[in-house]
Structure 1
Amino acid sequence: MTSPLVRFAPSPTGYLHIGNARPALFNWLFARRHDGRFLLRYDDTDIARSKPEFAAAIAEDLGWLGIVPDRVIKQSDRLSIYDSAAERLRQAGRLYPCYETADELDRRRKRQLARGLPPIYDRAALKLTAEQKLALEAEGRRPHWRFLLEAREVAWGDLVRGASHVDCASLSDPVLVREDGSYLYTLPSVVDDIETGVTHVIRGEDHVTNTAVQAQIFEALGASLPAFGHHNLLTTASGEGLSKRLGHLSLRGLRESGVEALAVAALATMVGTSDAVRPVSSLDELAGLVELAHVSRA
C-alpha cells in the first residue's frame, strides 16, 4: 500500500463524543499503521451553527486522545474552490436549478406515498423553459441546485463491508447548493477529498448511500475514487445514536471525570469488532491491533 492520506471531518457545531472519536481514531490508527498522514478538516459551511469555540474544543479533545493532525483546513476558507467545481458541473449539465419550496416538495412526496410510489424527486425542474424560470425568479424565487444522478448501480470494495453497491435509480437527485448559494455537505466533501489527495475515506455506515452519490460526483469532476470503508456506529444501550447536541458521553466530560484517554481510545475502536476490548499502553500498540476487516457488519 502506498502511504495513505486519511481525513476526519467534524462539523464544529458541538462537542465531540465517544461516537465521534470512533471514526477519528479509526482514521488516525490506519494512518499510523500504514505510515500515512492524517488531515483534520472542519466542515464549517453551516455558518449559523459553526462556532470557533467548538473548533477549538475539537482540537483539544483530539489532542487529549493523542491525535495530532498533519494538516488542518477549514471549508469556510475554500468556498471559491467549491464555486469553481459547481460551475463545472453546471456546464456539464449535471447541476440543474430547481424552484420548488420546501412545502411544495413535502406535499409532492406525500402524494407519491399515497399513490404507492417512492418519494423521490420527479425532476420536474428539468422540464422548465427559460421563460418559466424567469417568471419564477420574477416572483422572488431563487433556485436550489440538484445533481443529476445517472440511473445506474455504483459498486465498490468496502474496507469493512466487502463488496458493496447502491442502485442510484432509487435515489433522489441530491441538493448540492441551497437557495442562498451556500453548500450542503456533499459537494465540498468530494472537492476537498480531490484537492487534498485523500486516498482512503473511513467513516460511519450511515454514509453508505451518500458514498454512491459522491462517487458519481467524483467521476463527473474527472477524479478517481478513494478507497471507502464504512464502520458500524456506537449507540446507547437502547440502540439510539449518540448525539453531540445532547452531550452523550462527551470527550470533555469523560476527561473531566478522570477516564484515561487510552481507555477511551481502546473502547471506541474495539467495541463492535471481533476483537475483545483490552487495555493498551499506547496508540501505536492499538494501531497494531485494530483491523478494519474485523469490524462487525451491521
Structure 2
Amino acid sequence: MTTTRFAPSPTGYLHIGNLRTALFNYLIARQAGGEFILRIDDTDPERSKAEYVEAIKRDMDWLGLHWDRIEHQSARFDRYAEVADQLRDQGLFYECFETPVELDLKRKKQLNMGKPPVYDRSALALSEAERTALRAERKGHWRFKLDQSRIEWHDGILGDLSIDAASVSDPVLIRGDGQVLYTLASICDDTDMGVTHVVRGSDHVTNTATQIQMIRAIGGSVPNF
C-alpha cells in the first residue's frame, strides 16, 4: 500500500513551504488509494507547544488535507532507544565529545587546507579510559558511522543521483543532552510505519544518502524519494 507522511515540528505555525510538502504527500497517497499520516515531530520538549499542534491540525483540516491517522514522535522515545542500541551493537553508532567550539575550529582548519569540512572521526581512536574521563567532564553526543562509499538512488523529480559518503560528516543522531534528532526519529518511523514515498525539499537531498544507509542498517525498505 502507498503510504506517505507529513511531519511538521510544532515549534511554530505552518507556512507555505510546509503546506506544499503536505499537499504533495496527500495527493500521492490519495491518488493511489493509500494512507496519509500526519506525524508530529515533537522530539524537542522545550520548543514543541501543544497550541502549535492544534494550529497545525486546524490549518490542515481547513485546507481539506485530512489525514488517516496521527502519530506523535514524543510517544516513541523507547523505540528510538531500541534502534540506537541496535546500531551500537552493529558498531555503527559511536560517542563523541567535541564541543561546538572545537568542531568549529576543526572545520575552519580543514577549509583553510582546502579540504571539505568533514568530521575526522577522532572519537573512534579514543580508548575506553579516555572516554570515561571525558564523560566525567562533559556530555557526549552520538554519531552514525557512515559506510564511506558512493550511495546511488533514483529521485522521482531529479532523476539518478549519487553522493560519495566520504564527502559528508557522520551525522549526529543524539545530542549531548539526550535529545533524539530528526534523522534517527524519521528513519525509524518511516521504517516502522511502512512509508513508501518521501517528498522533501531539495535542501534535504544530501540527507537522503545518510537516510538510505541508516534504513538499510536497521533492516528497513528504502522508500521512493
Match for 2:81 among 80, 83, 87?
Answer: 83
Q: 2:75, 2:43 → 1: CA distance?
A: 9
One-letter amino acid matched to 1:184: L
Matches within 5 A, 1:147-296: 147-228=144-225
- SS of equivalent residue, structure 2 residue 220: coil
Quote the residue 1:5 is aligned against: 3
SS of match in other structure, 1:6 = strand
| Counterpart-to-counterpart distance in 2, 1:25 and 1:116 | 42
The DSSP-based 3-state class of the residue aligned with 2:24 is helix
- Cα distance in 1 for partners of 2:111, 2:162 equals 25
Letter in 2 for 1:8: F
> Following the alignment from structure 1 to structure 2, what is the Cα–Cα distance between the partners of residues 216 and 120?
18
Task: State how far apart, in whole Å, the 1-side matches of 2:154 and 2:101 are.
Answer: 39
CA deviation string 1:153-203 (max 9, x = no partner): 111111111112211110000100011111111000000001111111111
Answer with 1 or 2: which has the greater Rg: 1
Query: Percent identical across equivalent pairs?
Result: 54
2:182 is matched by which residue type in structure 1?
Y
Per-residue CA shift, 1:52-84, capped at 9, x if unaligned?
Answer: 100100001101110111010100000000000
2: distance between equivalents of 1:204 and 1:23? 8
CA RMSD of aligned residues (A): 0.9
Distance 2:163 2:8 in 1: 25
Question: Which sections of structure 1, spanning at least 5 residues, go unmatched?
Answer: 229-298
1:43 aligned residue (41, 44, 47): 41
* 1:281 equivalent in structure 2: none
In structure 2, distance between residues paired with 1:157 and 1:108:
33
Q: How many residues align?
A: 225
- Following superposition, the deviation at residue 33 of structure 1 comes to 1.0
SS at match of 1:187: helix
Equivalence for 1:68: 66
3-state secondary structure, aligned to 1:202: coil
Could you list the per-position Cα deviations for residues 62-118 of structure 1 after superposition, in whole angstroms to 9, with x for gaps in the alignment? 011101110101000000000000000011110000011111111111111112221
1:145 aligned partner? 142
Which letter does structure 2 place at the counterpart of 1:12? Answer: P
Structure 2 unaligned segments of length 5 or more: list them: none
Match of 1:114 in 2: 112
- RCO (CA 8 Å, sep 6+): is it higher in 1 or 2? 1
SS of the counterpart of 2:147? Answer: coil
- The whole-number CA distance in structure 2 between the counterparts of 1:141 and 1:19 is 38
- What is the deviation of 1:30? 1.0
**Letter in structure 2 aligned against 1:9:** A
CA distance in 1, matches of 2:116, 2:207: 18
The aligned counterpart of 1:20 is 18
